[in-house]
Protein backbone atom coordinates (compact mmCIF):
# COMPACT_ATOMS: atom_id res chain seq x y z
CA UNK A 1 0.00 0.00 0.00
CA UNK A 2 1.20 3.52 -0.70
CA UNK A 3 1.45 6.22 1.91
CA UNK A 4 0.47 5.85 5.55
CA UNK A 5 -1.97 3.12 6.48
CA UNK A 6 -3.04 0.94 9.37
CA UNK A 7 -3.10 -2.85 9.41
CA UNK A 8 -2.81 -5.57 12.00
CA UNK A 9 -2.98 -3.01 14.78
CA UNK A 10 0.05 -1.08 13.56
CA UNK A 11 0.76 2.08 11.60
CA UNK A 12 2.65 1.47 8.36
CA UNK A 13 4.33 3.63 5.77
CA UNK A 14 3.89 1.87 2.43
CA UNK A 15 4.57 -1.78 3.35
CA UNK A 16 6.88 -1.15 6.29
CA UNK A 17 5.79 -1.02 9.96
CA UNK A 18 6.82 2.32 11.41
CA UNK A 19 7.81 0.57 14.65
CA UNK A 20 10.62 -1.14 12.70
CA UNK A 21 11.86 2.22 11.44
CA UNK A 22 11.87 3.57 14.99
CA UNK A 23 13.83 0.53 16.18
CA UNK A 24 16.45 1.09 13.47
CA UNK A 25 16.80 4.87 13.43
CA UNK A 26 15.45 5.98 16.80
CA UNK A 27 13.13 8.86 17.57
CA UNK A 28 12.29 11.62 16.92
CA UNK A 29 12.51 11.14 13.15
CA UNK A 30 10.79 12.29 10.00
CA UNK A 31 9.50 9.56 7.68
CA UNK A 32 8.37 10.02 4.07
CA UNK A 33 6.52 7.82 1.62
CA UNK A 34 8.26 7.89 -1.76
CA UNK A 35 5.19 6.47 -3.49
CA UNK A 36 2.93 9.17 -2.05
CA UNK A 37 5.27 11.94 -3.20
CA UNK A 38 5.23 10.53 -6.73
CA UNK A 39 1.44 10.10 -6.71
CA UNK A 40 0.92 13.69 -5.54
CA UNK A 41 3.32 15.02 -8.19
CA UNK A 42 1.56 13.06 -10.92
CA UNK A 43 -1.79 14.65 -10.03
CA UNK A 44 -0.29 17.83 -11.47
CA UNK A 45 1.88 16.34 -14.20
CA UNK A 46 -0.94 14.27 -15.71
CA UNK A 47 -3.16 17.35 -16.02
CA UNK A 48 -0.67 19.70 -17.69
CA UNK A 49 -0.62 20.63 -21.35
CA UNK A 50 2.55 20.29 -23.40
CA UNK A 51 4.92 23.12 -22.54
CA UNK A 52 3.41 23.77 -19.11
CA UNK A 53 5.64 23.31 -16.07
CA UNK A 54 5.45 22.30 -12.43
CA UNK A 55 8.00 24.19 -10.33
CA UNK A 56 8.01 22.46 -6.96
CA UNK A 57 8.24 24.98 -4.08
CA UNK A 58 11.54 24.00 -2.50
CA UNK A 59 10.74 25.83 0.76
CA UNK A 60 8.13 23.15 1.59
CA UNK A 61 10.76 20.43 1.91
CA UNK A 62 14.28 21.00 0.61
CA UNK A 63 15.85 17.60 1.33
CA UNK A 64 18.19 17.05 -1.58
CA UNK A 65 17.11 13.42 -2.05
CA UNK A 66 13.48 14.50 -2.45
CA UNK A 67 14.54 17.23 -4.88
CA UNK A 68 16.47 14.65 -6.89
CA UNK A 69 13.40 12.39 -7.09
CA UNK A 70 11.24 15.24 -8.28
CA UNK A 71 13.81 16.33 -10.86
CA UNK A 72 13.85 12.77 -12.22
CA UNK A 73 10.04 12.94 -12.50
CA UNK A 74 10.41 16.06 -14.65
CA UNK A 75 9.75 18.74 -12.08
CA UNK A 76 11.06 22.26 -12.25
CA UNK A 77 11.63 24.21 -9.06
CA UNK A 78 10.56 27.43 -7.34
CA UNK A 79 13.35 28.73 -5.10
CA UNK A 80 13.41 31.64 -2.68
CA UNK A 81 17.11 31.80 -1.85
CA UNK A 82 20.46 31.32 -3.51
CA UNK A 83 21.10 28.25 -1.38
CA UNK A 84 17.82 26.68 -2.49
CA UNK A 85 19.00 27.24 -6.06
CA UNK A 86 22.31 25.56 -5.21
CA UNK A 87 20.42 22.62 -3.69
CA UNK A 88 18.44 22.17 -6.89
CA UNK A 89 21.58 22.24 -9.02
CA UNK A 90 23.23 19.75 -6.64
CA UNK A 91 20.16 17.53 -7.05
CA UNK A 92 20.54 17.51 -10.83
CA UNK A 93 17.83 20.02 -11.71
CA UNK A 94 17.90 21.84 -15.03
CA UNK A 95 18.43 25.55 -14.19
CA UNK A 96 16.26 26.44 -17.18
CA UNK A 97 13.35 24.93 -15.24
CA UNK A 98 13.90 27.07 -12.13
CA UNK A 99 12.10 30.27 -11.09
CA UNK A 100 13.47 32.47 -8.32
CA UNK A 101 11.00 34.31 -6.07
CA UNK A 102 11.52 36.31 -2.86
CA UNK A 103 11.71 39.96 -1.91
CA UNK A 104 15.28 40.30 -0.65
CA UNK A 105 17.54 38.67 -3.24
CA UNK A 106 21.11 39.76 -2.60
CA UNK A 107 23.51 40.82 -5.35
CA UNK A 108 25.35 37.52 -4.89
CA UNK A 109 22.13 35.52 -5.26
CA UNK A 110 21.09 37.44 -8.38
CA UNK A 111 24.52 36.97 -9.91
CA UNK A 112 24.28 33.22 -9.26
CA UNK A 113 20.84 33.04 -10.89
CA UNK A 114 21.96 35.07 -13.92
CA UNK A 115 25.10 33.00 -14.42
CA UNK A 116 23.10 29.76 -14.14
CA UNK A 117 20.69 31.12 -16.80
CA UNK A 118 17.59 30.10 -14.89
CA UNK A 119 14.13 30.27 -16.46
CA UNK A 120 13.06 33.40 -14.61
CA UNK A 121 13.88 35.78 -11.80
CA UNK A 122 10.55 36.93 -10.38
CA UNK A 123 10.81 40.69 -9.78
CA UNK A 124 9.27 41.79 -6.48
CA UNK A 125 10.11 45.53 -6.49
CA UNK A 126 11.40 48.31 -8.72
CA UNK A 127 14.62 48.52 -6.69
CA UNK A 128 15.23 44.83 -7.34
CA UNK A 129 14.68 45.35 -11.05
CA UNK A 130 17.24 48.17 -11.08
CA UNK A 131 19.75 45.88 -9.37
CA UNK A 132 19.12 43.12 -11.92
CA UNK A 133 19.80 45.60 -14.74
CA UNK A 134 23.08 46.64 -13.15
CA UNK A 135 24.29 43.07 -12.59
CA UNK A 136 23.21 41.90 -16.06
CA UNK A 137 25.07 44.77 -17.71
CA UNK A 138 28.19 44.11 -15.64
CA UNK A 139 28.11 40.40 -16.52
CA UNK A 140 27.17 41.14 -20.13
CA UNK A 141 24.51 38.42 -19.88
CA UNK A 142 20.86 38.41 -20.87
CA UNK A 143 18.48 37.87 -17.97
CA UNK A 144 14.96 36.53 -18.25
CA UNK A 145 12.54 37.94 -15.71
CA UNK A 146 8.91 37.79 -14.67
CA UNK A 147 7.09 40.49 -12.78
CA UNK A 148 5.29 39.27 -9.68
CA UNK A 149 2.09 41.22 -9.21
CA UNK A 150 0.18 41.68 -5.99
CA UNK A 151 -3.54 41.24 -6.78
CA UNK A 152 -4.79 42.15 -3.26
CA UNK A 153 -6.84 38.96 -2.86
CA UNK A 154 -7.58 37.53 0.62
CA UNK A 155 -7.65 33.73 0.89
CA UNK A 156 -9.13 33.31 4.36
CA UNK A 157 -6.19 31.21 5.56
CA UNK A 158 -3.86 32.05 8.45
CA UNK A 159 -2.53 35.61 8.17
CA UNK A 160 1.06 34.31 8.10
CA UNK A 161 0.45 32.36 4.88
CA UNK A 162 -1.54 34.98 2.96
CA UNK A 163 0.83 36.56 0.44
CA UNK A 164 -1.41 38.35 -2.06
CA UNK A 165 -2.78 41.25 0.00
CA UNK A 166 -1.81 44.86 -0.68
CA UNK A 167 -0.39 44.96 2.86
CA UNK A 168 1.93 42.06 2.02
CA UNK A 169 5.62 42.50 1.25
CA UNK A 170 5.30 40.36 -1.89
CA UNK A 171 4.79 41.50 -5.48
CA UNK A 172 4.21 44.89 -7.07
CA UNK A 173 1.18 47.11 -7.61
CA UNK A 174 -0.09 48.37 -10.97
CA UNK A 175 1.94 51.58 -11.00
CA UNK A 176 5.16 49.73 -10.26
CA UNK A 177 4.31 47.19 -12.95
CA UNK A 178 3.98 50.04 -15.47
CA UNK A 179 7.28 51.58 -14.37
CA UNK A 180 9.19 48.32 -14.67
CA UNK A 181 7.59 47.56 -18.03
CA UNK A 182 8.65 50.91 -19.47
CA UNK A 183 12.16 50.66 -18.04
CA UNK A 184 12.62 47.19 -19.50
CA UNK A 185 11.64 48.23 -23.04
CA UNK A 186 14.99 49.71 -23.93
CA UNK A 187 17.32 47.49 -21.92
CA UNK A 188 19.55 45.21 -23.96
CA UNK A 189 20.13 42.55 -21.31
CA UNK A 190 16.66 42.28 -19.77
CA UNK A 191 13.78 40.25 -21.17
CA UNK A 192 10.39 40.26 -19.46
CA UNK A 193 9.07 36.84 -20.45
CA UNK A 194 6.44 36.12 -17.81
CA UNK A 195 4.07 37.28 -15.14
CA UNK A 196 3.69 35.72 -11.71
CA UNK A 197 1.36 35.80 -8.75
CA UNK A 198 1.07 33.78 -5.55
CA UNK A 199 -1.72 34.64 -3.12
CA UNK A 200 -1.04 32.21 -0.27
CA UNK A 201 -1.32 28.66 1.02
CA UNK A 202 -4.00 26.17 2.02
CA UNK A 203 -6.31 27.15 -0.83
CA UNK A 204 -9.16 24.80 -1.79
CA UNK A 205 -11.34 27.27 -3.69
CA UNK A 206 -10.26 27.48 -7.34
CA UNK A 207 -12.10 30.79 -7.72
CA UNK A 208 -9.44 32.54 -5.62
CA UNK A 209 -6.69 31.55 -8.03
CA UNK A 210 -8.94 32.34 -10.99
CA UNK A 211 -9.36 35.86 -9.59
CA UNK A 212 -5.59 36.11 -9.43
CA UNK A 213 -5.46 34.91 -13.05
CA UNK A 214 -7.73 37.81 -14.06
CA UNK A 215 -5.16 40.25 -12.68
CA UNK A 216 -2.38 38.40 -14.52
CA UNK A 217 -4.29 38.62 -17.80
CA UNK A 218 -4.84 42.36 -17.32
CA UNK A 219 -1.12 42.80 -16.68
CA UNK A 220 -0.41 40.62 -19.72
CA UNK A 221 -2.27 43.08 -21.97
CA UNK A 222 -0.28 45.98 -20.53
CA UNK A 223 3.04 44.26 -21.18
CA UNK A 224 2.03 43.26 -24.71
CA UNK A 225 1.14 46.88 -25.44
CA UNK A 226 4.61 47.87 -24.26
CA UNK A 227 6.16 45.41 -26.71
CA UNK A 228 7.16 42.58 -24.38
CA UNK A 229 7.03 38.98 -25.57
CA UNK A 230 5.33 37.11 -22.73
CA UNK A 231 5.71 33.34 -22.79
CA UNK A 232 4.10 32.16 -19.56
CA UNK A 233 1.91 32.96 -16.60
CA UNK A 234 3.01 31.66 -13.20
CA UNK A 235 -0.09 31.31 -11.01
CA UNK A 236 1.88 30.20 -7.96
CA UNK A 237 1.00 27.28 -5.74
CA UNK A 238 -0.88 27.11 -2.49
CA UNK A 239 -3.36 24.28 -3.02
CA UNK A 240 -4.26 22.93 0.39
CA UNK A 241 -4.23 19.50 1.98
CA UNK A 242 -6.44 17.98 4.68
CA UNK A 243 -4.91 18.38 8.12
CA UNK A 244 -8.20 18.04 10.02
CA UNK A 245 -11.38 18.77 8.08
CA UNK A 246 -10.15 21.04 5.27
CA UNK A 247 -11.20 20.31 1.70
CA UNK A 248 -8.04 19.63 -0.32
CA UNK A 249 -7.28 21.49 -3.52
CA UNK A 250 -7.87 19.72 -6.84
CA UNK A 251 -4.96 20.14 -9.29
CA UNK A 252 -6.83 18.62 -12.24
CA UNK A 253 -9.86 20.92 -12.02
CA UNK A 254 -7.70 24.00 -11.40
CA UNK A 255 -5.43 23.33 -14.36
CA UNK A 256 -8.45 22.65 -16.56
CA UNK A 257 -10.07 25.98 -15.62
CA UNK A 258 -6.88 27.96 -16.20
CA UNK A 259 -6.14 26.22 -19.50
CA UNK A 260 -9.55 27.19 -20.87
CA UNK A 261 -8.90 30.84 -20.03
CA UNK A 262 -5.48 31.04 -21.68
CA UNK A 263 -5.73 28.53 -24.55
CA UNK A 264 -6.14 31.27 -27.19
CA UNK A 265 -3.25 33.40 -25.90
CA UNK A 266 -0.25 31.21 -26.76
CA UNK A 267 0.82 31.21 -23.13
CA UNK A 268 2.31 28.41 -21.09
CA UNK A 269 1.34 27.78 -17.49
CA UNK A 270 3.63 27.45 -14.46
CA UNK A 271 2.43 26.17 -11.10
CA UNK A 272 4.44 26.15 -7.86
CA UNK A 273 2.97 23.38 -5.65
CA UNK A 274 4.84 22.47 -2.48
CA UNK A 275 2.65 21.37 0.43
CA UNK A 276 0.27 19.44 -1.84
CA UNK A 277 3.17 17.28 -3.07
CA UNK A 278 5.08 16.48 0.12
CA UNK A 279 2.74 17.44 2.99
CA UNK A 280 0.67 14.27 3.34
CA UNK A 281 3.69 12.14 2.40
CA UNK A 282 5.47 12.74 5.72
CA UNK A 283 5.10 12.01 9.43
CA UNK A 284 7.11 12.90 12.51
CA UNK A 285 7.48 9.98 14.91
CA UNK A 286 8.21 10.47 18.60
CA UNK A 287 8.37 8.53 21.87
CA UNK A 288 6.37 9.20 25.03
CA UNK A 289 8.93 9.97 27.74
CA UNK A 290 6.60 10.66 30.67
CA UNK A 291 2.94 10.71 31.60
CA UNK A 292 1.83 13.59 33.82
CA UNK A 293 -1.77 13.18 34.96
CA UNK A 294 -3.32 16.09 36.87
CA UNK A 295 -6.76 17.18 38.00
CA UNK A 296 -6.73 19.89 35.33
CA UNK A 297 -5.38 18.02 32.33
CA UNK A 298 -3.31 15.03 31.28
CA UNK A 299 0.06 15.63 29.70
CA UNK A 300 1.92 13.24 27.44
CA UNK A 301 5.50 14.50 27.43
CA UNK A 302 7.33 13.38 24.31
CA UNK A 303 10.88 13.56 22.96
CA UNK A 304 9.96 15.81 20.01
CA UNK A 305 9.37 19.50 20.50
CA UNK A 306 8.51 22.78 18.82
CA UNK A 307 12.09 22.92 17.54
CA UNK A 308 11.33 19.76 15.52
CA UNK A 309 7.80 20.73 14.45
CA UNK A 310 7.22 24.49 14.57
CA UNK A 311 3.81 24.70 12.89
CA UNK A 312 1.61 24.19 16.01
CA UNK A 313 3.46 26.92 17.93
CA UNK A 314 3.72 29.29 14.97
CA UNK A 315 0.30 28.86 13.36
CA UNK A 316 -1.68 27.04 16.07
CA UNK A 317 -1.93 24.35 13.41
CA UNK A 318 -3.58 20.97 13.82
CA UNK A 319 -1.86 17.67 13.00
CA UNK A 320 -3.56 14.32 13.45
CA UNK A 321 -1.79 12.19 16.06
CA UNK A 322 -1.80 8.41 15.75
CA UNK A 323 -0.58 5.60 17.97
CA UNK A 324 2.01 3.55 16.11
CA UNK A 325 0.71 0.42 17.84
CA UNK A 326 -3.07 0.51 18.24
CA UNK A 327 -5.10 -0.68 21.22
CA UNK A 328 -8.81 -1.43 21.35
CA UNK A 329 -9.22 -0.10 24.89
CA UNK A 330 -10.47 3.40 25.65
CA UNK A 331 -8.01 6.23 25.83
CA UNK A 332 -7.72 9.54 27.64
CA UNK A 333 -7.61 13.12 26.47
CA UNK A 334 -4.03 14.35 26.41
CA UNK A 335 -2.15 17.55 25.78
CA UNK A 336 0.97 16.45 23.92
CA UNK A 337 3.95 18.56 24.89
CA UNK A 338 7.64 18.52 24.18
CA UNK A 339 10.89 19.11 26.09
CA UNK A 340 11.53 22.70 24.95
CA UNK A 341 11.55 25.25 27.77
CA UNK A 342 8.66 27.32 26.35
CA UNK A 343 4.96 27.30 27.18
CA UNK A 344 4.33 27.30 23.41
CA UNK A 345 5.88 23.83 23.15
CA UNK A 346 2.50 22.14 22.72
CA UNK A 347 2.23 19.95 19.63
CA UNK A 348 -1.39 18.85 20.08
CA UNK A 349 -4.29 19.59 22.43
CA UNK A 350 -7.17 17.41 23.65
CA UNK A 351 -6.31 14.27 21.71
CA UNK A 352 -7.89 10.99 22.75
CA UNK A 353 -5.13 8.39 22.76
CA UNK A 354 -4.38 5.09 24.44
CA UNK A 355 -0.71 5.55 25.28
CA UNK A 356 1.75 4.78 28.04
CA UNK A 357 5.32 5.70 28.86
CA UNK A 358 7.63 4.43 26.12
CA UNK A 359 4.93 4.22 23.42
CA UNK A 360 5.42 5.67 19.96
CA UNK A 361 3.17 8.22 18.27
CA UNK A 362 3.13 9.87 14.84
CA UNK A 363 2.24 13.44 13.84
CA UNK A 364 0.71 13.13 10.41
CA UNK A 365 0.97 15.39 7.35
CA UNK A 366 4.32 16.88 8.34
CA UNK A 367 6.13 16.33 5.05
CA UNK A 368 5.90 20.05 4.26
CA UNK A 369 7.08 22.82 6.58
CA UNK A 370 8.19 20.22 9.12
CA UNK A 371 11.88 19.43 9.03
CA UNK A 372 12.70 22.57 7.03
CA UNK A 373 11.45 24.83 9.84
CA UNK A 374 13.26 22.98 12.62
CA UNK A 375 15.99 24.53 14.75
CA UNK A 376 18.62 23.77 17.38
CA UNK A 377 16.80 25.77 20.07
CA UNK A 378 17.70 24.55 23.58
CA UNK A 379 20.74 22.97 21.88
CA UNK A 380 18.52 20.17 20.64
CA UNK A 381 19.87 18.21 17.70
CA UNK A 382 18.22 17.98 14.29
CA UNK A 383 16.50 14.68 13.67
CA UNK A 384 17.01 12.16 10.86
CA UNK A 385 14.85 11.84 7.76
CA UNK A 386 14.00 8.48 6.21
CA UNK A 387 12.23 7.74 2.95
CA UNK A 388 10.35 4.50 2.34
CA UNK A 389 9.62 2.77 -0.95
CA UNK A 390 7.53 -0.35 -0.55
CA UNK A 391 9.21 -2.26 2.27
CA UNK A 392 12.60 -0.57 1.88
CA UNK A 393 13.76 2.34 4.05
CA UNK A 394 16.65 4.67 3.24
CA UNK A 395 18.08 7.40 5.44
CA UNK A 396 18.24 10.71 3.55
CA UNK A 397 19.44 12.89 6.42
CA UNK A 398 21.39 11.57 9.37
CA UNK A 399 20.76 12.50 12.97
CA UNK A 400 22.94 15.44 13.96
CA UNK A 401 25.63 14.82 16.57
CA UNK A 402 26.52 17.26 19.35
CA UNK A 403 29.97 17.72 17.80
CA UNK A 404 28.40 18.70 14.48
CA UNK A 405 26.06 21.15 16.19
CA UNK A 406 28.94 23.17 17.71
CA UNK A 407 31.48 22.77 14.90
CA UNK A 408 30.96 26.31 13.58
CA UNK A 409 31.64 27.77 17.04
CA UNK A 410 34.91 25.95 17.78
CA UNK A 411 38.54 26.63 16.83
CA UNK A 412 37.92 30.24 15.83
Catalytic residues: 341
Query: CB of 243 within 8 A of CB of 201?
Result: no
Burial of 137 (0-12, 13-18, 19+ CB in 10 A): middle
Q: Quote the CA–CA distance of 319 and 303 in Å, as a whole number.
A: 17
CA 186 to chain centre: 37
**Cis peptide before 28, with omega less than 30 degrees from 0?**
yes
DSSP string over 72-128: HTT-EEEESSHHHHHHHHHTT--GGGEEE--S---HHHHHHHHHHT-SEEEE-SHHH
CA distance 321 to 74: 33
Q: Are 230 and 224 in contact (CB under 8 A)?
A: yes
Amino acid sequence: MEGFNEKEGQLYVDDLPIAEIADTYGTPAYIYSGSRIQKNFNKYADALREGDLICYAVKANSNIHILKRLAQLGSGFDVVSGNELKRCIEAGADPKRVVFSGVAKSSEELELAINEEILSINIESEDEFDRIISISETLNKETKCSIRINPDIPTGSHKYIETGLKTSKFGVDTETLKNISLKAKNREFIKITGLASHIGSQISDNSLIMKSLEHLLTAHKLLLNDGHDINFLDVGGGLGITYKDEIPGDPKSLISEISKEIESLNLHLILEPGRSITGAAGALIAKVEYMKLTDYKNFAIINAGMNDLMRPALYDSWHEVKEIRKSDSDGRLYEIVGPVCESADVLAKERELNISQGDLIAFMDTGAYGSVMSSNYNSRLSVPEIIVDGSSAKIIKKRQSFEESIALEKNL
